[in-house]
Amino acid sequence: MYLLLAAHADGAALQEITAEGVPEPSNPEPRVVSAGDLAGVVRGIEGRHPRWIWHRTQDWYPALLRAGVELERCYDLTLCGAILAHSEFTAHTGYAQAAEKLTQDDELNQPPRALQPPPPPPEQGALFDAPAPGRRPGQSLEALRAEYAAQQESLGQAGTDSGAAGADATRRQRLQLLLAAESAGAMIAAEMQHTGVPWRAELHEQILAEQLGPRPAPGQRPAKLESLTAELRRLLQSPALNPDSPQELMRALHRNGIEVKTTRQWELKESSHPAIVPLLTYKKLSRLHAANGWTWLDTWVSNGRFQPEYVVGGVVSGRWASRGGGALQIPRQVRGAVHADPGHKLIVADASQLEPRVLVALAQDSKMAEAARDKDLYAGIAAQGFGGDRAKAKVALLGAIYGATTGESGRLMPQLARTYPRAVGFVEQAARDGEAGRTVTSRLGRSSPPPSERWLQSQQSSTAEEQRRADSIARSRGRFTRNFVVQGSAADWAACWLAELRRRLRAMRSAGTAAGQLVFFLHDEVMVQCPEDDVADCIRAIEDSAAAAKELLFGRIPVEFPVSVAVVDSYDNAK
C-alpha cells in the first residue's frame, strides 16, 4: 500500500496510490486531515504497513516522532529524485534529462546565491503548522503524485539501453535498493536525532577540568591555556603573542630561527626548539576548548542527550553530513562523556577496513579476496606482497584508494599493482574516467557529479602553462572519482547495513525480545544502546545486518565484511 502525504492549506492531504503512481482505483479520493488530527490518523493507518511517500522526510517525520508515532517505511521524493536525476543507470531516461535541463535553466535564470532569499527558519512550536499558501510550489498532492510516477518510470527503465538483459535487471534492482536504503536512512536520521546520543554533562565537565582547569569566565582563557601562553611568550621572546593567530605565531617562530612554512602540527614536530612541545600542547588544548569545551556543552547537550541533525545525502558520495555540534567529529578526548543510561550498555560496532574490502568486491580481485579472508586484511596483503610489513601494505592500499602519487605511498604503488592488477586497475580506470570528464558510479548506482566549470574551462588551454594547469585540474578530478567509486560504494554498503539493522531492532522491539536503539552512526560505525540483558541479541542483529548488506550489494562472494564489536559503558572504551 502506497500513501502520499502532502501539505495542504488545512493541514495535510493523503491519497492512496498504486506502485506506478496513479490513484488507487478502489480508493482514489484524497483525504484532508487537520494538522491537529494528523498524528492520530497516521498512527491508525500505519497498522496497514503503508509506504509513506512524501516530499521530504524532514518535513513530516520529526513532528510525528515528537507525537510518539514511529513509522515502518517511506519514500523520500527529494532524496530519491536527486539520485535518479544524476545516476548513470537512468541517464538515458526522460526524468534525468528533464532534471538536467532544469539545472541549466536554473543556472541561467537564478540570481547569485547571495541574492536568494534565506531558507525559512526551522519549524518551532505547534505540530504540523500549515505551510503558508503558495510558499511551497510544486508540493501539492497532484504534483507529488506526478513526481513519484515520473521517478518510478525512470527507475523502471534503469539500464535498459545497455548490455545483456540480465545485467539490466541487476542495475534496476540495485538502484531500487539504493532508493529504499536512502529513504530508510532519512527515517533513521530523524529517529536518531529524536533519541539523541546519551551524554553525561558532568563527565564532560570533569574531562574539561582535568585538561584545562576550572571553567573560566566567558571570553577568558582557561587557566591551563593561560599558563601555556605565558610560557610560549617567554620562550619565543614575544611578550604579546596570541598563539591562536597563525600569522603572529609564524612571525614569532621565524624570529626564533624555526623555519617552518606552515604552523601545522606535523611540520612543527620537525623542530626540536624548546617552544615546540608547549606549543603543540597549547594547540591540542585550545582546540578542545574552542570546539568541544563548555560553550559546546551548553549549546548542544541538554537533558542528558546530544541531538545533532544528520544530513542524509549531504555528501556527494552518499555519506551523511551533519549540522550542529560537529556530530561526526566527536574527538576521542571527550568520548568519555558518552555514557550508557543506568542498566544499559552501548554497543559500538564498526565495519573493519570497509573501504579496502569494498574495493576487493568491486574489482572482484580474487588474489586480494584471499587476503581479505581473515580479520586483518592489511596483514593478509602484507604476507602476500610486502614481506609481512603490515604498515607498508596499509599505506600502499590506502594510497591506491586516495590516489597518492608521491611519498612512500606513491612509491609502493607499482609493487601493489604487480600483486593485485585487478584491484589497482579498477581504481585506475575510475581515475582515468574522471580525468577525461566522465562520471563514475557506485555499486548501487549513485553517480559522481559532472565535471566542474573549472574543469570544462581548462579543456580549452592553448599555452604550455595552461596545459600544465589543465593536467593538474584533470588529475585532481581523477583522484576524486578514484575515491568516489570506493567511498560511494562503502556508503551504499553502510546504508544497507543501517537499514537492515533498523528492521531487525524494530522486529525485536515489537516482539518484546530486545529493546535496542540506534543512537549514533558515523560512516562505517554504529552505536546501539540497549538494556544489559539484550546485548547478545543486538550484537547478533548488527552482525546479521552486515552479512545481509554484503549480499545485497555483491551477492554471494568470497569476501568477508567483518564487524568489530565493543560492549561498553562509555564510548572512550570502544577502541
**C-alpha to C-alpha distance for 214 and 208, rounded to whole angstroms:** 8
CA separation (Å) from 240 to 230, 248, 266?
9, 9, 25
The CB-of-109 to DNA minimum distance in angstroms stands at 20
**What residues contact 479, with CB distance under 8 A and at least 6 apart?**
402, 403, 431, 434
The CB-of-64 to DNA minimum distance in angstroms stands at 25
Determine which residue in the list 30, 196, 213, 324 makes contact with DNA, applying CB under 7 A. 324
Q: Nearer to DNA by C-beta: 12 or 189?
A: 189
Q: Is 263 in the site for DNA (CB under 7 A)?
A: yes
The CB-of-28 to DNA minimum distance in angstroms stands at 41
**What residues contact 525, with CB distance under 8 A and at least 6 apart?**
348, 349, 350, 351
The CB-of-571 to DNA minimum distance in angstroms stands at 10
Residue 165, all three cell numbers = 538483459
By CB under 7 A, the residues from 460 to 479 that bind DNA are: 476, 479
Determine which residue in the list 234, 254, 332, 540 makes contact with DNA, applying CB under 7 A. 332
By CB under 7 A, the residues from 374 to 433 that bind DNA are: 391, 395, 398-399, 402-409
Determine the Cα angle at 20 with ends 5 and 314, to 5°.
55
CA separation (Å) from 321 to 65, 522, 562?
21, 9, 25
The CB-of-66 to DNA minimum distance in angstroms stands at 22
Q: Is 492 exposed, middle or buried (0-12, 13-18, 19+ CB in 10 A)?
A: buried
6's enclosing H/E stretch is strand 2-8
With CB under 7 A as the contact rule, which of the stretches 61-69, 149-157, 205-213, 259-267 interacts with DNA?
259-267
Q: Nearer to DNA by C-beta: 266 or 465?
A: 266
**C-alpha to C-alpha distance for 394 and 386, rounded to whole angstroms:** 10
Q: Are 557 and 364 in contact (CB under 8 A)?
A: yes
The CB-of-311 to DNA minimum distance in angstroms stands at 6
Q: Is 287 in the site for DNA (CB under 7 A)?
A: yes
With CB under 7 A as the contact rule, which of the stretches 328-336, 422-430, 541-549, 565-573 interacts with DNA?
328-336
Q: Nearer to DNA by C-beta: 325 or 445?
A: 325
Q: Is 296 in the site for DNA (CB under 7 A)?
A: yes
Q: Is 50 in the site for DNA (CB under 7 A)?
A: no
Tally of CB atoms within 10 A around 104: 10
Q: Nearer to DNA by C-beta: 127 or 250?
A: 250
Strand 2-8 versus strand 321-323 pairing type = unpaired
Three-state DSSP at 82 gives: helix
Q: Nearer to DNA by C-beta: 365 or 524?
A: 524
Q: Nearer to DNA by C-beta: 155 or 235?
A: 235
Q: Is 326 in the site for DNA (CB under 7 A)?
A: yes
Q: Nearer to DNA by C-beta: 50 or 403?
A: 403
Determine which residue in the list 76, 147, 191, 524 makes contact with DNA, applying CB under 7 A. 524
Bridge partners, 385 (sequence order): none
Q: Is 224 in the site for DNA (CB under 7 A)?
A: no
Determine which residue in the list 95, 294, 386, 480 makes contact with DNA, applying CB under 7 A. 480
Q: Is 127 in the site for DNA (CB under 7 A)?
A: no
Q: Nearer to DNA by C-beta: 267 or 532?
A: 267
Determine which residue in the list 92, 136, 273, 284 makes contact with DNA, applying CB under 7 A. 284
Site string for DNA, 153-192 (x = CB under 7 A): ----------------------------------------
Determine the Cα angle at 327 with ends 326 and 330, to 5°.
85
Q: Nearer to DNA by C-beta: 140 or 452?
A: 452
66's enclosing H/E stretch is helix 57-66
Q: Is 522 in the site for DNA (CB under 7 A)?
A: yes
Q: Nearer to DNA by C-beta: 199 or 480?
A: 480
Handedness of CA 71, 74, 76, 77 (dihedral sign): negative
408-416 contact pairs (CB < 8 A, 24+): 412/386, 415/385, 415/386, 416/385
The CB-of-146 to DNA minimum distance in angstroms stands at 30
Task: Give the type of residue at 564.
Answer: S
With CB under 7 A as the contact rule, which of the stretches 22-30, 208-216, 318-326, 564-572 interacts with DNA?
318-326
The CB-of-5 to DNA minimum distance in angstroms stands at 27
97-100 contact pairs (CB < 8 A, 24+): 98/150
The CB-of-263 to DNA minimum distance in angstroms stands at 4
Tally of CB atoms within 10 A around 415: 14
- Would you give the end-to-end CA distance of the chain in angstroms? 44
Nearest Cα residue to 409 out of 424, 398, 420, 425? 398
Q: Using CB under 7 A, list all residues that contact DNA.
A: 114, 242, 244-248, 250, 262-266, 269-270, 283-284, 287, 290-291, 296, 311, 314-317, 319, 321-326, 328-333, 350, 391, 395, 398-399, 402-409, 476, 479-480, 483-484, 487, 522-525
